[in-house]
Each structure stands twice: as structure tokens, then as C-alpha cells.
Structure 1
Amino acid sequence: MAFTVEAADCIAGMALLLSGYATWITLKFNKRQQSLIESQEKLNNLLLEKESNEAENSKKADLGASFIKLGSNKYRLKIWNKGTACATHVRIEFPEENNILIQSEIDEKFPLEMLETYQSVELIAGVHMGTKRKHAIRLIWSDASGENHQKVVYPTL
């Protein structure tokens, strides 16, 4: 029994090899395609998270306070809103003691009904030789994202 190879057998063998190579290339391409799809899905999720955070932050007010000097011996406490939303029902409290701001002026201006973005309010500060340099001030406000947000700031002279 002799085994003879004919032209048809060679063509069939070559077709089998070519088919195997094409299958291997297709599997390799599908792996790369799947990797690309996964990374694209991760990017889409990150974009959605970023957009939702931006939408959430657009509803928030961010209050701050600092002392400003207006000459040789005049100081003011400036409270401002640097957030993107309007702050409402703004209140001010002193966790320690208030020995620098005039209470009657605080009572006149606070609670502040509304503090728009980049708007500020100033309070006269009575600075003297015995005044400590750092003061704790609690700012309390409401905005579109919720009520009773608090922030303790430590403005210094």
C-alpha cells in the first residue's frame, strides 16, 4: 500500500492550513476587539460619573470667610459664596467665643436670606491689642442640594 499525494491533496492541505491561520488571526482580532470594548465601556462609565458629579456640584454653594484689612487699623470679616449655586438661610456661629465682631451687626445681617454666587457680605471687626489672631467660625447654609450644610473656617488676622 503506497501512499500517493496528488495535487488535490496538496490543495486541500493548503486550504486546511490557510483556514487554521485565518481562524487564529480571527481569534486574536476578537481578543483585541473585546479589550477595546472593555476600555471603551470603562471610559463611558468614567464620563457618566464625571457628568453626574458636575451636575451635583452645580447645585452646591461653597461659603468661605477671611479677614481683610482696610487701612492701618480697620478690619472686616468677609463671607463669600464661591460655589455655583445660590446659598440660602445663611447663618453664622462661633464654636469658641466671639470677641472680635459686633453682635448688633451680626444680628442685623444674619440670618442672610440669600447669598448669590460670588456675592459677599462684610462685618466690621473690632481688632485691638489683645485680640487673638485665629478665630473659628461656623457657616451654616442651605442650597439646591440640601439643607444645613456646615463648614468651619479659621480666618486669621
Structure 2
Amino acid sequence: METWTFIISAAALAVSLYTYFAHDRKLKQQERLINSYQLKQLQEEEQANKKADIRAEISQNTKGPRTLRIWNNGRAVARNIRVEGLDVEGLIVMNDEIFPYEIMNPQDDAELKLYLTIGCPQKLTLKLIWDDESGQDNVTTKVITL
């Protein structure tokens, strides 16, 4: 009788130990997955904090010139912002001497007045170039309908 009690107790202990270690292994595996995911998100966040995002849009006033607004939609400071593609026939750009723009903080903007004359194209392809902490000569191309 004592032998059966010992065997049952030993089997119960073995099953309990197996269950504990299997459960512990799964928990540690999940913890490693969560930690790697959080680390990846932190790295992506750090990279996003180093990037500026220069954008452009045009607004049409009811009368007079159109306004080209260029702004930094990113999280980092943009430096040496250049705009290419404004030298088309039939387009007169006022105050374009502000480019290259030295420093543009996040959410800052600059505006150019555009006057359209005869022979101006319907669409304008702008190439926006800037430097930031993530690299030099970042480029985005924007097609704007005039």
C-alpha cells in the first residue's frame, strides 16, 4: 500500500514539475517576443525622430497669385531645403530667393507667390531636396496641378 502511495505521489510531483517548466518556458518565449517587438518599435521611433518630411501644396486664391506652401511635416529639423522645377515657362515666382532655405523646424513653413502667364503648364513637377539627421539629399517629388 505504501508503495502505491509513493508511486502516485511521485507521478503527481513529476506531472506538476513538467507542467511548471513547460508553462515557464512558454512564458519566457512570449516575453522574448514582446521584448523584441518593443525594441523594434523603439528603434523605428528613434529613426522617425531623425527624419524630416518636406511637403508642398498649392492654394488658389480667388483673384491674384497662387500660393505655394512648403512645410516640414516630420519630427526633425530640415536643413538646406531646395526646390527644383519652378523654372518653367509661363510661371513667375516671387521671393524665390529664400531657397535654399537654411533651417526649417518641424511644422514650420515657407510660402512662395506664383503668378501664371500665357504658356504656363497645367501641372508642375516639383523636386524637394533637404538634409536632416537621417541623411543628406533626401528627395521627394510632388506633382501639383495649377
Taking structure 1 as the reference length, the TM-score comes to: 0.82
Separation of aligned partners in 2, 1:86 and 1:142: 9
Q: Which residue of 2 aligns with 1:91?
A: 82
For structure 2, the residue ranges without an aligned partner over 5 or more in a row are none
Note the C-alpha offset of 1:101.
4.3
Mapping of 1:1-157 within 5 angstroms?
10-94=1-85, 98-99=88-89, 101-102=91-92, 105-106=95-96, 108-128=97-117, 131-157=120-146
Kindly provide the amino acid, as one letter, of the partner of residue 127 in structure 1. Answer: L
Separation of aligned partners in 1, 2:73 and 2:140: 13
Normalized per residue, the structure richer in strand is: 2
Q: Secondary structure at the match of 1:126?
A: strand
Note the C-alpha offset of 1:58.
0.7
> What number of residue pairs does the alignment pair up?
146
Separation of aligned partners in 1, 2:45 and 2:89: 39
Separation of aligned partners in 2, 1:100 and 1:32: 73
Q: Secondary structure at the match of 2:46?
A: helix
For structure 1, the residue ranges without an aligned partner over 5 or more in a row are 1-9
CA contact (8 A) 1:100 1:125 kept: no
Percent identical pairs in the alignment equals 25
Kindly provide the amino acid, as one letter, of the partner of residue 124 in structure 2. Answer: H
Deviation string for 1:102-151 (max 9, x for gaps)?
A: 35632x11111111111111111123575444321110000112111111
Kindly provide the amino acid, as one letter, of the partner of residue 46 in structure 2. Answer: A
CA contact (8 A) 1:56 1:145 kept: yes
CA contact (8 A) 1:66 1:156 kept: no
Taking structure 2 as the reference length, the TM-score comes to: 0.88
RMSD of aligned Cα (Å):
2.1
Q: Secondary structure at the match of 2:116?
A: coil
Separation of aligned partners in 2, 1:78 and 1:124: 9
Would the alpha carbon gap of residues 141 and 92 (structure 1) be closer, same or farther in structure 2, given more than 3 Å must change?
same
Kindly provide the amino acid, as one letter, of the partner of residue 122 in structure 1. Answer: E
Deviates more, 1:63-72 or 1:121-130: 121-130
Separation of aligned partners in 2, 1:50 and 1:100: 48
